[in-house]
Amino acid sequence: MTFSKYTQRWLAATLLIATCVVSTGASAQNTSKSVVTTSQVRAELMAHAPDGADPGKTVWVGLQLAHQPEWHTYWKNSGDSGLPTALQWTLPPGVMAGDIAWPVPKKIPIGDLANYGYDGTVLLPVPLTITPDFKPSLLGSDIEIKLKANWLVCRRECIPEEGEFTLHLPVRGSTALNGAAFEASQQAQPQTVNGDSRVLIEGKRLQVSVAGLPSALQGKTLEFFPETSEVIETAGPWTQRWQGALWTANVPLSAQRSQSPNVMPLVLVAEVNGQRQGYRAQAKVVGSWPSVTAVAGVSPELAAALQANVGPSTAPASPAVSLGLWAAVLGALLGGLILNLMPCVFPVLAIKVMSFTQHANDRRGHRISGLAYSVGVVTSFVALGALMLGLRSAGEQLGWGFQLQAPAVVAALAVLFTILGLNLAGLFEFGKFLPSRVAAHQAKNPALNAFLSGVLAVAIASPCTAPFMGASLGLALGLPALQALLIFAAIGVGMALPYLAASLIPAVAKLLPRPGLWMDTFRRAMAFPMFATVVWLVWVLGQQSGIDGASALLALLVALSLVIWSLTVRGRGRVVIAIISIAIFALLTGAIGQNVLKITDTTTTATSTDRWQPWAPGRVDSVLATGVPVFVDFTAAWCVTCQYNKKTTLVNPAVLADLDAKKVTLLRADWTRRDPAITAALSQLGRNGVPVYVIYKTGRAPVVLSEILSVAEVRSALASL
């Protein structure tokens, strides 16, 4: 029996298993939901307990907010408008939550107003005290932490958002995965200043004096943030000066003042070694406050913004939004078309060529095959997009190509392509392993074969991001579900378009070769691209599960090949050989199978001689603060385009010379395994898949390069630094 008639039963079963694995993994993770994603903010509940969480210890938890560009949330004193982020904890008896340790804020001017808040990524840490009264459950050895958070996120408009989070913190065991984020937040905390600091009330102005500041700050211009809200005119003009070691300021009172504190905590911020450093002082208020002329409440500006965002908007989409959507659809269509040229799609060319050649003299069959293949491609892209959007709405931080971030899916595809390769090589025929009724049904339904060939094409092509696709996929995540699925469908139409045209246009069909003996030779030759794909998949698994996982998969593939061969043996020894082969496969699966699915930390620490250093959250900002430009390579082992660029353009001597001449720091963000921080960084760039190449320079917007890099493009971008 031929390949095209009987392969798809195996294909459908393998893809179904792979999809179930992904769905099962997502469901398991959702039982402890720590991430909530909206169109404006990605919020994640994090914990840091490097010494465990035994009674008597203090551990840290915190809500990390990663804002989309131009959006911001608020500090404890939000300024003229806004609301601070509020956290409500549900904790076991004996566990007590402290207050938010607010990092130093930024002043955000908005017209004639000014707010205090955060953009980019910020972590709001909270200490948890584990008292001696805490008694771990007999059924579990962890602390269940529940959080309900409310935050107001604003750009020109404001949107109130909320999220519910659950995290399980092991009592005995180290929890230090988020150590870098908590360390960065700790460094962003204001240092306490001990000194005689005062606020003198003089009519409608405050005379502020702060003593005890470090001598290195003397003469510097400082930023001023009062922790007490609704006291000063946030956007009003004010002056500051130094009187020796004493810093003083003259600040206007707010005409709508509602607070009359006896002590005003103040935060002063200065640039120290290229970093913003805060200093906190407790200033005693001297004098009598003027009478209060306004009651506390939400500002008129904020009230109007909140009212404008109550309920779904009924206004029609603006022409700019419509144009942006159709531009994204066109980009997706072109990207899908170019996807046929991507190296990762090559292994399925054998299936397409064999199927089309088989119907070379059957125009009706040719048309049916082309239409069925196109339906399979488009349907698969829409289904995959819907699955990704559904998992993201449930809190999963996923991107395009997410299925190959799961070792089980990689292993399943390796098994599939091993079986297909052995079949193409002529080791066995599917018809001999299928019941005659199933074989007859398959022979009568060539459309089903073509449809499943389209499904297989998408399964392999989906990890790639062709030119024009990156921006479209990134935009899709911020659109309503139907508009997002339209973009995914456009990718499928673009990919299927060449084969659909070949099936419908007679002139193209005449160019196809006639069936003949050459087909058997061609079929056997196409086994080698299948085996080459298996090599690539094993290498990808090695990046996820380490050398033990890759070796285990290779051993299991060899044992599986032995089982398939044993079933083709003839004679009296067939049953004995088959039983022995199956037993060997079963024993190996039980002994080493778990190594295939085990996630192993395969990252290595970069040495001083390495050109490329590992990317980490906040690393770009810290390097830019020194005045050095940064080149970031967002990559993954399963992305063939990434590997092509890495072996060509990124090692080109001229490119390397330009990078050295500009003293560019090279960072590599490896997305081979799921990494929510990298996914969030890609989202901020308007992308949802790899490869993505970005050049950062202080004072300039990030420059995103093409997915398929050319030497000329990189050198041109570097020349403009």
Pick left, alpha or beta for residue 612 (phi over 0 → left; psi -120 to 50 → alpha; otherwise beta).
beta
- Going by their DSSP bridges, the two strands 263-272 and 223-226 should be labelled as antiparallel
User: SS3 for 142?
Assistant: strand
Pick left, alpha or beta for residue 142 (phi over 0 → left; psi -120 to 50 → alpha; otherwise beta).
beta
Structural domains of the chain ordered from first start = 35-179 (2.60.40.1250), 192-289 (2.60.40), 322-597 (no CATH), 612-719 (3.40.30.10)
Tell me the C-alpha distance between 356 and 369, whole Å.
8
pLDDT digits (tens, 9 = 90+) for 682-694: 877 777 778 899 9
More confident residue, 531 or 637: 531
Mean pLDDT for the chain? 78
Q: What is the mean pLDDT of residues 560-566?
A: 91
Residue 24: the pLDDT is 31
pTM over 0.85: no
pLDDT digits (tens, 9 = 90+) for 564-619: 998 888 887 888 898 999 999 999 998 888 888 876 654 443 333 368 999 988 88
pLDDT digits (tens, 9 = 90+) for 157-204: 788 888 999 988 887 666 767 888 888 888 899 999 988 899 999 988
Highest mean pLDDT among 487-496, 550-559, 639-648: 550-559
Structure tokens at 467: 């030119």
Q: What is the mean pLDDT of residues 14-22?
A: 37
User: By C-alpha distance, which of 476, 83, 484, 124 is closest to 309?
Assistant: 83
The answer to whether 74 and 115 are in contact (CB under 8 A) is yes
Residue 251: the pLDDT is 93
Residue 133: the pLDDT is 79
* Model confidence at 509: pLDDT above 70: no
Spell out a b/e string for 606-630, using b for 16 or more CB atoms within 10 Å of the CB, else e: eeeeeebbebebbbbeebbeeeebb
Tell me the C-alpha distance between 273 and 617, whole Å.
20
State the pLDDT confidence band at 120, using cuts at 50, 70 and 90. Answer: very high
* Model confidence at 324: pLDDT above 70: no
The answer to whether 101 and 187 are in contact (CB under 8 A) is no
The answer to whether 40 and 67 are in contact (CB under 8 A) is yes
Burial group, residue 120, by CB count within 10 angstroms (0-12, 13-18, 19+)? middle
In sequence order, the β-bridge partners of residue 93 are none
